[in-house]
Amino acid sequence: MDIGFLKLILAYSLVAVFVFTAMVTSLSLIGWARFIDQDQQKTLFKVLIVEVAIVSVGFFANLLEFNPATAKNQIVAGAFSDRKQQFTTKLALARKKYEDGDLQNA
């Protein structure tokens, strides 16, 4: 797997968890979601703050990628680089065989 693709998956997974936590927290504020213990609601608020911090730091430290076009370009560039390396290796081998006079196997 490509690192750009992994960054994209991680970023959107964190955002999905953040949205879910924000929804549950908001519903608990207006009373539509109730917890058996009030400590659970306080813990949920703390988790929400930690999630905001993690997503913010990850985004600004360029550890998370939210733009699919950038991830796609990184994947394509990596694949092109790999193909170019394979071609260069095979070309060097063919040149070596040609220089050695082994034209049938070049």
Report residue 37 as tokens. 């213990």
Query: Can you tell me whether residue 87 is helix, strand or coil?
Result: helix
Is the model's pTM score more than 0.75? Answer: no
Question: Does the structure show a pLDDT above 70 at 67?
Answer: yes
Task: Classify each residue of 45-75 as buried b or exposed e, where b means 16 or more C-beta atoms within 10 Å of its C-beta.
Answer: eeebeebeeebeebeeeeebbeeeeebeebb
pLDDT of residue 105: 57
Under the banding of pLDDT at 50, 70 and 90, the label for residue 1 is low
Rounded Cα gap, residues 62 and 58, in angstroms: 6
Higher pLDDT, 46 or 104: 46
Q: Is the pLDDT of residue 106 over 60?
A: no
